[in-house]
Amino acid sequence: MPFYNQAHQFYAGVDLHARSMFIHVLNAKGKTVFENDLPAGPDEFLDAVKPFRKNLVVGCECMFAWYWLADLCEDQRIPFVLGHALAMKHIHGGKAKSDRIDAGKLAAMLRGGLFPLAYVYPKAKRQTRDLLRRRSFFVRQRAQLITHIQNTNSQFNLPPFPKKLTYARNRSADIAARFADPSTRLSIQANLNLIDAYDEQIATIERHLLHSAKVDDPVTFGFLRTVPGIGPILGLILLYEIDRIDRFPEAGNFLSYSRLVRCAHESAGKVKGFGGKKIGNAHLKWAFSEAACLMLRSSAPVKAWLQRQEAKRGKRKALSVLEAKIGRTVYHLWRKQRAFDVQRFLKNGEPQAEEPRRK
CATH code for the domain of 34: 3.30.420.40
Residue 83 DSSP label:
E
**17 in any annotated domain:** yes
Please say whether the beta carbons of 351 and 345 come within 8 A. yes
Residue at which a domain ends, from 95, 120, 145: 120
Query: Same structural domain for residues 317 and 237?
Result: yes
Distance CA 83, CA 106 (A): 9
pLDDT digits (tens, 9 = 90+) for 153-182: 999 999 999 999 999 999 987 899 999 999
Residue at which a domain ends, from 63, 85, 120: 120
Query: Same structural domain for residues 102 and 146?
Result: no
Please say whether the beta carbons of 221 and 214 come within 8 A. yes
Report residue 33 CA to chain centroid gap: 37
Please say whether the beta carbons of 145 and 188 come within 8 A. no
* Rg of the chain over all Cα atoms, to the nearest angstrom: 25
Query: Same structural domain for residues 205 and 235?
Result: no
- β-pair partners for 273: 265
Residue at which a domain ends, from 182, 216, 250: 216
Torsional sign, CA 267, 270, 271, 272 = negative
355 pLDDT band, cuts 50/70/90, is very low
Query: Same structural domain for residues 139 and 196?
Result: yes
Query: Same structural domain for residues 12 and 109?
Result: yes
Query: Same structural domain for residues 201 and 247?
Result: no
**304 in any annotated domain:** yes
**358 in any annotated domain:** no
**At 84, which amino acid appears?**
H
Please say whether the beta carbons of 57 and 79 come within 8 A. yes
Mean pLDDT of the chain: 91
Torsion angles phi and psi, residue 172, rounded to 5: -145, 175
Report residue 321 CA to chain centroid gap: 21
**359 in any annotated domain:** no
Query: Same structural domain for residues 86 and 7?
Result: yes
Distance CA 160, CA 150 (A): 8
Query: Same structural domain for residues 305 and 242?
Result: yes
Q: What is the DSSP string of 285-315?
A: HHHHHHHHHHHHHH-HHHHHHHHHHHHHH-H
**356 in any annotated domain:** no
Distance CA 20, CA 296 (A): 50
**165 in any annotated domain:** yes
pLDDT beyond 70 at 359: no
pLDDT digits (tens, 9 = 90+) for 182-226: 999 999 999 999 999 999 999 999 999 999 999 999 999 999 999
Query: Same structural domain for residues 232 and 341?
Result: yes
Give the three-state DSSP class for 90: helix
356 pLDDT band, cuts 50/70/90, is very low
Is the pTM for the entire model greater than 0.75? yes
Please say whether the beta carbons of 254 and 331 come within 8 A. yes
Query: Same structural domain for residues 200 and 237?
Result: no
Distance CA 284, CA 137 (A): 15
Give the three-state DSSP class for 13: strand
**At 121, which amino acid appears?**
Y
Distance CA 226, CA 212 (A): 19
> Which domain, by its residues, includes 253?
222-348
Between residues 140 and 273, the one the model is more confident about? 140
Q: What mean pLDDT is predicted for residues 326-353?
A: 82
pLDDT beyond 80 at 77: yes
Query: Same structural domain for residues 271 and 339?
Result: yes
**355 in any annotated domain:** no
- Give the count of domains, the chain: 3
Distance CA 298, CA 282 (A): 25
Distance CA 88, CA 117 (A): 10
**85 in any annotated domain:** yes
Give the three-state DSSP class for 182: helix
Residue 173 has a pLDDT of 77
Q: At what angle do helices 123-155 and 232-242 cross, to 10 degrees?
A: 140
Query: Same structural domain for residues 207 and 135?
Result: yes
In this structure, the number of other CB atoms found within 10 A of the CB of residue 177 comes to 11
Give the three-state DSSP class for 264: strand
Q: How many CA atoms lie within 13 A of 338 on its CB side?
A: 17
